[in-house]
Amino acid sequence: MKEIMPILVVDRLPDFEPIDLYIADRKLIVAVLNKGLAYEGPLVFRVGVQESVVPQSGDFRFERIVELSVKIGTGGVGIFDMGDIAWPDARYPAIDHPQVRVGVLIDPSRKVAEANIHNNRIERTIRRDCGAVISKVRPDRFLEGLPSLLTLYGTFGYSEKTKRVVIRRDNQERVLVVADWQPNRLQVVLPKDLPAGEYEVLIACSERSCGAGYFASKAVVFSIARHDAEPVSEP
């Protein structure tokens, strides 16, 4: 009599695979495909960022755990908000660059049984605004021929990195020396050889990988007056 072998039944499981990672309205968004059994319940995401734009060149600084209640059917795609990507902050002052490497790992503690646990990670190099904004300058008027300090107020990030302070007049630009860099205040040196006239001051950012530059802030105007003009005192 022929022996009948038992049929091995394998439980079907969900299978999460992140397929896209991008920024929308300053939020980090991850798209997750479920290639397995439909799943409804809690799901944990681990979000990391590193300043280097070269893959595998350094460890991620994992700084955020996001816990969500999700519902993804078989073959369905869930779109999930990983929170504001307003890096850097006080804990991570070094991550201050217009291009960063971002990674998201699904279920880092493996609390959800999956068909495949080796496809739970996604990495992307994401370009972002370096976030520098000038709100005002003080003083806004100087005397020609005198070296002076121009103080900028606004939001500038925790470190200078690839950012530069640029003044512009008649389509000519000049990079200024930064005397003091604080997250909400900068002091830059105005050379004494600047001729009288009106100038725009801006914050410029550059991408280290390609050297491409762009202005991150709207221009704020200040003026340099001739010797015979009456200086305006700082309020």
In this prediction, residue 227 carries a pLDDT of: 67
The structure tokens listed for 94 are: 């070094």
Residue 15: pLDDT band (50, 70, 90) is very high
Q: What is the pLDDT of residue 90?
A: 61
Per-residue pLDDT at 163: 83
Q: What's the pLDDT at 72?
A: 96
- Rg of the chain taking only CA atoms, in angstroms: 26
Closest CA to 65 of 80, 45, 79: 45
Q: How far apart are CA 207 and CA 221, in angstroms?
A: 26
Considering the domain 133-225, what is its CATH architecture? Sandwich (2.60)
pLDDT of 6 reads 52
- Tens of pLDDT, residue by residue over 154-165, are 988 777 877 889
What value does the mean pLDDT take over residues 106-116? 93
- pLDDT at position 27: 86
pLDDT tops 50 at residue 9: no
Is pLDDT of 211 > 60? no
Cα 1 to Cα 4, 7, 8: the distances in Å are 9, 18, 22
pLDDT of residue 150: 92
Residue range 16-65, pLDDT digits in tens: 999 999 988 778 999 999 999 999 999 999 998 876 555 555 556 657 89
Q: How confident is the model at residue 111 (pLDDT cuts 50, 70, 90)?
A: very high
Q: Which regions of the chain carry the CATH code 2.60.40.10? A: 16-127, 133-225
In CATH terms, is domain 16-127 a member of 2.60.40.10?
yes
CB 196 within 8 A of CB 205: no
Tell me how far apart the alpha carbons of residues 85 and 170 are, in angstroms, rounded to a whole number.
Answer: 36
**Confidence at residue 35, expressed as pLDDT on a 0 to 100 scale:** 93
More confident residue, 207 or 154: 154
Kindly give, in sequence order, each residue whose CB lies less than 8 Å from that of residue 21, ignoring residues fewer than 6 positions away: 28, 29, 30, 31, 102, 104, 122, 123, 124, 126
Mean pLDDT over 101-130 rounds to 89
Is residue 190 within 8 Å of residue 149, measured between CB atoms?
Answer: yes
DSSP string, 153-214: EEE--SS-TT-EEEEEETTEEEEPEEEEEETTEEEEEEPTTPPSEEEEEEEEEE-TTT--EE
Share of the chain above pLDDT 70, in %: 74
Residue 147: the pLDDT is: 77
pLDDT per position as a tens digit, 177-198: 999 999 899 999 998 888 888 9
Per-position b or e across 124-143, b if 16+ CB within 10 A of its CB = bebebebbbebeebebbebb
Whether 166 and 160 have beta carbons less than 8 Å apart is answered as no
Judged by DSSP in three states, 112 sits in coil
What pLDDT does residue 144 have?
81
Q: Is the peptide bond before 235 cis (omega within 30 degrees of 0)?
A: no
